[in-house]
Amino acid sequence: MRFCFDDNGNEIMPKPYTVTEINENIKSLIEEEMMLQDFYIQAEVSNFKNHSSGHLYFTLKDQFSEIRAVMFKTYARGVKFQIENGLKVIAHARVGVYLQAGSYQLYVDSIQPDGIGGLHLAYEQLKEKLSKEGLFDESHKMAIPKYPEKIGIITSPTGAAVRDIINVATRRYPVAKLVIFPSLVQGEGAPNELIKGIEYFNIEKSVDVIIIGRGGGSIEDLWAFNNENLARAIYKSKIPVISGVGHEIDFTICDFVADKRAATPSAAAELATPNLAELLGTMSNNKYRLHSAMLSYLNEYKSRLESLANSAVIKHPLRMLDGPKMRMISYSNSLKNAFNEIISNKKMDFSKINSKLFALNPMAVLSRGYSYVLDSQGRIVKSVDDIENDEKISIHVQNGTINAKVISKEGKK
């Protein structure tokens, strides 16, 4: 405690501290306590905020208490996974005092998930995110061409992977041209170079299929192939992509988004190329089968020709007409009989009609002693009222006409 004295040396009211002095004293006490300057803390994240400046602000808490924390951009860049509210973590930190606010907080320089590796968590988080977006859907994957003319390879030009790919591809399918895009496959700059390779081949359209990959290693070594931007570049590629990263047990995000996943770079080369020796063997076998089939057909047709040559039809071709000739005779007789039957029926019909017409013929009536009379105008006289006395009339009988004059007429009463 600080004391003040008057001019006579008498003690008076203690000298007060300023707020800044108190905060500075607290800051000194905390910073002098070594345990508070280098420790690990196990807690749950809440109130997480990713500031536009790149700094991370959050609260660490347990069942009974909480403390504010900050992770500056310099350290935040090294965090591979996504920090989320509710995530249990283990952080390395120190306690510091923010003088202006008179508050203390944790300054975190590293953080990892509690119970699971940070890279593994980042991998799982990105995998889930891209899967939900549909980047792994089978419906989007393109077929690998069976007989590529050019194969693009994106990998380190000095690694074992490129040698394995070249050896396998040239052994299996030496007719294909290999185009290598050299790239880093490890480290901070690797994802951008791998992306440039994908974009280069898509712009140039110079290859039929792309192989991207590297040899085996730890999850840190393979981390470039778990990059979100690289995954999206592969997804957008118009050229089929085969991912061959690491060993058979290694799986990266590239494996899931690529059109085909190979267990190793060598396996990727096998997927990209047909086996020329097998193709030649298949062609040879097909040639033999085709030749055998042709001989079989030729022998079959030769046998049929010989059989036809020895047949009675070929030796006596006119006999081929016997059957049609007999059918023609039969058809002719049938037609003649049908025609005669029709004529006979028509004659009978005509005779009946003729008899009816004869019975109605006026001349036939005249032959029986009847006649008809026409007046001077040539009209049929049907009644005595149709003519006048002294009118000339004509009387028609069977064998001629009698001209007469009416002397008188008498009608029936």
What would the pLDDT profile of 229-284 be if each residue is shown by its tens digit? Answer: 999 999 999 999 999 998 888 889 999 999 999 999 999 999 999 887 777 767 77
Q: Which two tokens stand for residue 389?
A: 């006395």
pTM over 0.85: no
β partners of residue 112: 90
C-beta of residue 78 within 8 angstroms of C-beta of residue 110: yes
72: nearest Cα among 100, 93, 103, 90: 93
Per DSSP, 221 falls in state: T
DSSP code for 8: T
**3-state secondary structure at position 51:** coil
Question: pLDDT at position 199, please?
Answer: 96
- Give the strand order in the sheet containing 150-155: 177-182, 150-155, 209-214, 241-245, 260-262
- Cβ 386 vs Cβ 375: under 8 Å: yes
The size of the chain, in residues, is 413
pLDDT at 230 (0 to 100): 96
User: Could you count the other beta carbons within 10 Å of the beta carbon of residue 11?
Assistant: 9
Q: How far is CA 222 from CA 185, 199, 214, 232, 270, in A?
A: 8, 21, 8, 17, 22
Single-letter amino acid, residue 109: D
pLDDT on residue 332: 87
Please tell me the predicted confidence (pLDDT) of residue 398.
76
Asked whether the beta carbons of 170 and 269 are under 8 A apart, the reply is: no
Contacts of 82 (CB under 8 A, 6+ apart): 122, 125
Set out the domains of the chain in order of their start, with CATH numbers.
Answer: 4-115 (2.40.50.140), 123-274 (3.40.50.261), 365-405 (no CATH)
Gap between the Cα atoms of 93 and 343, Å rounded: 128
Q: Is 89 exposed, middle or buried (0-12, 13-18, 19+ CB in 10 A)?
A: buried
Burial of 46 (0-12, 13-18, 19+ CB in 10 A): middle
For the chain, the C-alpha Rg in angstroms (whole number) is: 60
Burial class (CB in 10 A: 0-12, 13-18, 19+), 245: buried
pLDDT of residue 413: 62
DSSP-derived pairing of the beta strands 392-397 and 372-374: antiparallel
pLDDT along the chain (413 residues), means of 10: 61 72 81 83 89 92 90 88 84 86 88 74 86 93 94 93 94 93 93 96 94 88 92 96 89 94 93 82 78 85 80 71 82 88 88 78 70 84 83 83 85 70
What are the C-alpha distances in Å from 149 to residues 138, 202, 301? 25, 16, 42
Is residue 244 within a helix (H) or strand (E), and if so which, with residue range?
strand 241-245
Question: How many of the other CB atoms lie within 10 Å of CB of 177?
Answer: 14
**pLDDT for the residue 260:** 95
Q: Quick check: 395 and 369 in contact, CB under 8 A?
A: no
Tokens of residue 250, six digits: 């290694």
DSSP 24-40: HHHHHHHHH-GGGGSEE
Average pLDDT of the chain is: 86
Q: Which two tokens stand for residue 262?
A: 């190979």
Q: Which pLDDT belongs to residue 389?
A: 86
CB atoms within 10 A of CB 273: 26
Strand, coil or helix: what is 303?
helix
Q: CA torsion, points 112, 117, 119, 125, in degrees to nearest 10? A: -90
Q: What is the C-alpha separation between 391 and 408, in angstroms, rounded?
A: 10
pLDDT value, residue 385: 81
Structure-token pair, residue 104: 């203390």
Phi and psi, residue 213, nearest 5° = 170, -175
- The span from the CA of 334 to the CA of 322, in Å, is 18
Q: What angle do CA 42, 48, 52 make, to 5 degrees?
A: 130
Q: Which residue has the tokens 């975190």?
A: 108
What are the tens digits of pLDDT across the range 195-241? 999 999 999 998 999 999 999 888 788 889 999 999 999 999 999 99
CA dist., res. 111 & res. 366, Å (int): 144
208 to each of 148, 161, 214, how far by Cα in Å? 6, 20, 20
Residue among 264, 134, 278 at smallest CA distance from 211? 264
- In 328-386, the DSSP E strands lie at 372-374
